[in-house]
Structure 1
Amino acid sequence: MIVATIRRVAHVMERVSLLLGALCLLYMVSVVGLNVLARIVFDATGTALNLMIPGAIEQVSYLLGIVAMAGLTASLSHGMIAVDFLVTRLPRGGQALVARFWFLVLLCLALVLCWLFFHDMQATYARGEESQDLRIPMFLIYGLAMLQSLALAVVALREMLVSQGDHGEIA
């Protein structure tokens, strides 16, 4: 019952992470592409026409962390990629045990990140900190990172409970 619930929640979190990562990546590519074109126009007009997106570097840098966390969360359903001379020679049960151990390590890492991002979110909210160029409240950025860390923890928990030692490069 509990494992089935964790599976359902983890599946939803994987799908949301995949969608979030795809949207953020699409936005990042668009911002960078438009800024490159705007820079060409800027240089061609002798700096008379500036169409560059304000805070583009800031936007892309904050979204990069979210894309990385979302990608990691979404990719775990196919097992971890492992290039290991020893583990592949273990019996199926041994491979599952090793995989579950690494998912436990990943779960602990995700929970530590979640805890740290939560405290950073609280601190930046209390201080009223904003990003440098766009004045985005920093607690929103840390909050999104905390939610992505939580999603990673739930997916790692599911994989720790059900993994049979499958590897992403073999599947």
Structure 2
Amino acid sequence: MQTYLERASHWLALLCRWVAGVALVALLLVTIADVSTRYLYRLTEGAIALRVSGSVELVSYLMLCSLLAAMAANVEKSQVVVEALSHSLPQWIKNRLHGVYLIGFAALGLVLFTGLLDSAAAASRHGEVTQDLRLPMGPIYYAAAVLSLLLGVRSALHALLGALFGVEGEVSNGE
């Protein structure tokens, strides 16, 4: 059971890292294209007027995806341990406390998931679109909901690993 949970967490982390990486690279490409076209416009004194339409909007939604995916990918490594309260405790107790602490992150991920799922359904029903590019908001909310669900699932997996098995925060490579 423990090995299965570790492997599931490992593969979900890889998926989340991949999503975060793709979103971050896309964000950088949009930013570079926007800055380059603005500079080209200034250099040519308006002769070449290329623009990246909706760049601020694209960057904000790509940032949302990259942050949610990165949070889900690194949930087991992202917690600060207050050593003043736990420095004298054995490691297995610290691991179990960390697992209990991650139950809160699992709940947070699930609350975000349900809220974003409701927002996605409402946006799809009402035809809500983004301000600049007129992209439908429903798929954006659905993507954020899935990434929030991954945050909740990975937190729950590590809560189980820590609270039940006393496994340290960072899992092995799935081996």
TM-score (norm 2): 0.86
Separation in 1, partners of 2:64, 2:47: 34
Equivalent of residue 80 in structure 1, options 75, 78, 81 = 78
Unaligned runs of 5+ in 1: none
- What letter matches 1:37 in structure 2? S
Separation in 1, partners of 2:138, 2:72: 22
Counterpart residue number, 2:67 = 68
- What letter matches 1:82 in structure 2? V
Counterpart residue number, 1:51 = 50
- What letter matches 1:136 in structure 2? L
The CA deviation at 1:52 is 2.0
Number of residue equivalences: 166
Identity of aligned residues (%): 26
Separation in 1, partners of 2:82, 2:27: 34
Separation in 1, partners of 2:168, 2:82: 12
Shifted more, 143-152 versus 97-106: the winner is: 97-106
Query: Any conservation in 2 of the 1:95–1:165 contact (CA below 8 Å)?
Result: no
Unaligned runs of 5+ in 2: 171-175
TM-score (norm 1): 0.88
Separation in 2, partners of 1:7, 1:165: 10
Query: Any conservation in 2 of the 1:10–1:151 contact (CA below 8 Å)?
Result: no
Query: Any conservation in 2 of the 1:87–1:98 contact (CA below 8 Å)?
Result: no
- What letter matches 1:128 in structure 2? G
Separation in 1, partners of 2:99, 2:66: 25
